[in-house]
């Protein structure tokens, strides 16, 4: 059975580093995110195909990975601006990020900045605690 995917969400980004997740069907804002040190930045953002993650860069050369929905969303908790999962930045370069992208497997992030510089970061998200416990149980069963 194929799951029905919802396409009524929209991410918007302003030049002051604010990103908002909107529920278009309900015509309301669901979450807000703040990209640190983002002053008058034209950086594009990118979202994974499954909609779970997005990336956006700032004026200082850093790229941030955010989770669009978190486990607490199911419980109806909303606590202001969402925090980034991680910060990725090049060594000794601090110019504005022009664009960035994240791979659909959530493992690679690419950013462009300066006069044609392209950076690739390997990003690994640790599996949830539940998955780690299941893997450990499987290993114990084998012994």
pLDDT of 109: 92
pLDDT of 114: 82
pLDDT of 130: 54
Q: What angle do CA 119, 124, 129 make, to 5 degrees?
A: 160
- The set of long-range contacts for 132-138, using a CB threshold of 8 Å and a minimum separation of 24, is none
User: Phi and psi of 15, rounded to 5°?
Assistant: -70, -15
pLDDT tens string, the chain, 143 residues long: the values are 444 455 688 888 887 888 889 888 888 998 889 888 777 667 788 898 888 899 998 888 899 999 987 644 544 445 467 888 888 988 888 888 888 999 988 889 999 888 888 899 987 665 555 544 544 444 455 44
Q: How big is the chain, counted in residues?
A: 143
């Amino acid at each position: 059975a194929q799951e029905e995917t919802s396409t009524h969400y929209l991410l918007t980004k302003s030049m002051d580093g604010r990103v908002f997740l909107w529920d278009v069907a309900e015509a309301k804002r669901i979450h807000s995110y703040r990209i640190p040190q983002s002053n008058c930045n034209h950086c594009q953002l990118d979202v994974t195909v499954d909609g779970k993650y997005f990336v956006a860069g700032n004026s200082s050369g850093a790229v941030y990975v955010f989770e669009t929905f978190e486990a607490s969303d199911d419980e109806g908790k909303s606590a202001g601006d969402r925090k980034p999962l991680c910060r990725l930045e090049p060594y000794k370069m601090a110019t504005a990020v022009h664009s960035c992208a994240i791979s659909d497997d959530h493992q690679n992030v690419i950013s462009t900045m300066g006069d044609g510089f392209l950076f690739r970061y390997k990003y690994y998200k640790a599996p949830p605690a539940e998955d780690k416990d299941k893997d450990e149980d499987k290993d114990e069963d084998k012994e």
